[in-house]
């Protein structure tokens, strides 16, 4: 049972979340919330600043989304779990803004303090989260990964797709096949286009998503791209990203989704992995996606942090990706720092670093999808595309083993600003035939954080079966 910390909030008037002021009375002068409500959320509620919350329900015993049958049953069971909890709220005092059929989460709006107090007492409700704004990880390649060499193997990512959780993808650009619609003509690389955020009537209002998608198709020659637009103009938040994850789980079988690329974050520095499901809504979402066979990949962030990543990259079941230069581009001034010199495999000064960062990939500067951009936003899709190739080449691999194959074959690179050594993606090495169980030792860069499988990583050293000339 989660320990409850009672927090007393005293006020004579409660400012209703809609902005109206409701007179208090003796029974409502002091409100006590449990640890389900973070202190900052309580403060913002009493200040009348928020009226909506993301609610985490107890999904103990609910089926895993591992198979289509399991996803169907999970959808029904989660619906019942949420109904059982929400019917304990006062009628007419809340409404569901967005439900996530494959996640133990709902986005709810509340019309009274009474409803919030009732929510706090429901056993089936485990936590509430504020819907936080998210920002693109744009700080303003392919050869470094030895991608051309992998053509020797014939692995191209066929029969997989990668979801681009971003600003959308302009499928009319030549990089994607000059499509007239998703999947049209038949060789169009964009196989689906889904507006998760409110429709903004443009395939890509910014160009960021098209650049990210272009990196994926440049890395994985036959992997399809799914545009999951989570931005309303240039604004996004947790509820839309969670919606994209939920959509991917629902449609994994239809599109053979191998990975989701999430090149955005909240800009906050998390010195340790954000593993608490009661304070991070992405924990349960990532666990559900992983169980469904989908690997979530997120950019580390561009805030020049030396001991922390932003969210969602800090989440254990999400592969966090930092950036490196792919060649010498001379001195470079970024918005938060300056690199006086640059070279291949140098970590840019902006790239967030942490002891639990999973992997590095080229991110400065990358031309793809009709534009040139730089940031950890551009590093992450190299990894997402690489994972699609690995899952296509080795369809029997689990999601964690696919990640291990990239991490354990990477080239160690040390970030001078933090002293942290992290593997840099080497796709050619990752596609070599290997076994896992011959040398019981840790990789030289330390313990792996992905999936929380720290103990399991101890025997995860790869050894080549055959060495190619």
Same domain, 111 and 146: no
Residue 220, domain member (yes or no): yes
* Per-residue pLDDT, 458: 35
Report the CATH number at residue 169: 3.40.50.200
Residue 309, domain member (yes or no): yes
Burial class (CB in 10 A: 0-12, 13-18, 19+), 465: exposed
* Per-residue pLDDT, 451: 38
Task: Count how many domains the chain has.
Answer: 2
Same domain, 15 and 82: yes
3-state secondary structure of 208: helix
Same domain, 91 and 63: yes
| Strand ordering across the sheet containing 133-136 | 236-237, 133-136, 264-265
3-state secondary structure of 67: coil
Same domain, 166 and 84: no
Which of 130, 166, 179 is closest to 263 using CA atoms? 166
3-state secondary structure of 368: strand
Same domain, 207 and 173: yes
Which of 150, 226, 171, 179 is closest to 389 using CA atoms? 150
Residue 283, domain member (yes or no): yes
Strand 295-299 versus strand 257-262 pairing type: parallel
Which of 236, 96, 75, 251 is closest to 166 using CA atoms? 236
Same domain, 104 and 196: no
Task: Tell me how far apart the alpha carbons of residues 21 and 315 are, in angstroms, rounded to a whole number.
Answer: 38
First-to-last C-alpha distance (Å) of the chain = 58
Burial class (CB in 10 A: 0-12, 13-18, 19+), 243: buried
Task: Tell me how far apart the alpha carbons of residues 94 and 78 are, in angstroms, rounded to a whole number.
Answer: 19
For 81, residues 6+ apart whose C-beta sits below 8 A from its C-beta are 57, 58, 59, 62, 104, 124
**Full domain range(s) for residue 372:** 134-433
Same domain, 104 and 173: no
Q: Which two tokens stand for residue 446?
A: 């330390």
Final residue in a domain of this structure, among 109, 131, 153: 131
CA 327 from chain center: how many Å?
28
Give percent helix, percent strand, percent coil of the chain, each to the nearest 5: 30, 25, 45
CB 84 within 8 A of CB 124: yes
How many helices (H) and strands (E) the chain has is answered by 10, 26
Task: Tell me how far apart the alpha carbons of residues 301 and 353 are, in angstroms, rounded to a whole number.
Answer: 9
For 57-70, b/e burial (b = at least 16 CB within 10 A) is: bbbeebbebebeee
Same domain, 321 and 294: yes
Residue 209, domain member (yes or no): yes
Q: What is the pLDDT of residues 276-322, one digit of tens each?
A: 999 999 999 999 999 999 999 999 999 999 999 999 999 999 999 99
Question: Which residue ranges in the chain fall short of pLDDT 70?
Answer: 1-31, 140-143, 147-152, 434-469
Residue 468, domain member (yes or no): no
* Per-residue pLDDT, 465: 44
The helix or strand, by DSSP H or E, that contains position 407, with its residue range, turns out to be helix 399-408
Which of 235, 259, 375, 372 is closest to 310 using CA atoms? 375
For 466, residues 6+ apart whose C-beta sits below 8 A from its C-beta are 432, 433
CB 431 within 8 A of CB 155: yes
CB 368 within 8 A of CB 219: no
- CA-based R_g, the chain, Å: 23
Residue 159, domain member (yes or no): yes
DSSP β-bridge partners for residue 364? 325
């Amino acid at each position: 049972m989660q320990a409850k910390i009672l927090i007393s909030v005293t006020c004579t008037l409660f400012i209703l979340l809609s902005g109206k002021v409701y007179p208090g009375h003796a029974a409502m002068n002091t409100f006590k919330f449990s640890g389900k409500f973070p202190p900052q959320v309580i403060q913002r509620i009493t200040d009348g600043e928020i009226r909506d919350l993301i609610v985490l329900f107890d999904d103990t015993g609910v089926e895993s989304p591992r198979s289509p049958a399991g996803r169907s049953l999970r959808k029904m069971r989660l619906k019942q779990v949420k109904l059982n909890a929400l019917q304990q709220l006062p009628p007419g005092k809340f409404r569901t803004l967005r439900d996530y059929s494959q996640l133990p989460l709902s986005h709810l709006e509340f019309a009274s303090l009474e409803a919030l107090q009732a929510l706090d007492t429901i056993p089936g409700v485990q936590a509430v989260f504020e819907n936080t704004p998210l920002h693109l990880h744009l700080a303003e390649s392919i050869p470094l990964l030895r991608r051309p060499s992998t053509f020797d193997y014939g692995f191209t990512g066929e029969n997989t797709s990668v979801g681009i959780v971003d600003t959308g993808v302009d499928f009319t650009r030549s990089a994607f096949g000059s499509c007239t619609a998703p999947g049209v003509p038949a060789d169009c690389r964009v196989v689906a286009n889904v507006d998760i955020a409110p429709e903004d009537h443009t395939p890509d209002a910014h160009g960021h998503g098209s650049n990210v998608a272009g990196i994926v198709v440049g890395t994985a020659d036959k992997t399809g791209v799914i545009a999951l637009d989570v931005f309303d103009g240039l604004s996004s938040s947790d509820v839309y990203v969670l919606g994209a994850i939920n959509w991917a789980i629902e449609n994994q079988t239809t599109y053979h989704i191998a990975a989701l690329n999430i090149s955005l974050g909240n800009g906050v520095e998390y010195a340790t992995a954000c593993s608490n499901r009661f304070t991070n809504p992405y924990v349960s979402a990532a666990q559900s996606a992983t169980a469904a066979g989908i690997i979530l990949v997120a950019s580390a962030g561009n805030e020049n942090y030396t001991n922390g990543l932003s969210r969602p990259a800090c989440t254990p079941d999400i592969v966090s990706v930092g950036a490196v230069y792919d060649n010498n581009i001379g001195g470079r001034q970024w918005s938060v720092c300056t690199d006086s010199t640059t070279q291949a495999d140098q970590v840019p000064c902006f790239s967030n670093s942490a002891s639990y960062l999973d992997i590095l990939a080229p991110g400065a500067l990358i031309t793809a999808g009709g534009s040139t951009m730089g940031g950890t936003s551009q590093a992450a899709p190299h990894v997402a595309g690489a994972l699609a190739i690995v899952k296509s080449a080795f369809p029997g691999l689990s999601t964690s083993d696919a990640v291990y194959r990239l991490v354990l074959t990477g080239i160690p690179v040390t970030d001078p600003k933090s002293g942290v050594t992290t593997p840099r993606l080497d796709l050619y090495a990752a596609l070599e035939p290997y076994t896992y169980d011959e040398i019981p030792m840790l990789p030289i860069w330390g313990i792996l954080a992905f999936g929380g499988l720290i103990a399991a990583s101890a025997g995860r050293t790869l050894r080549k079966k055959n060495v190619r000339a």
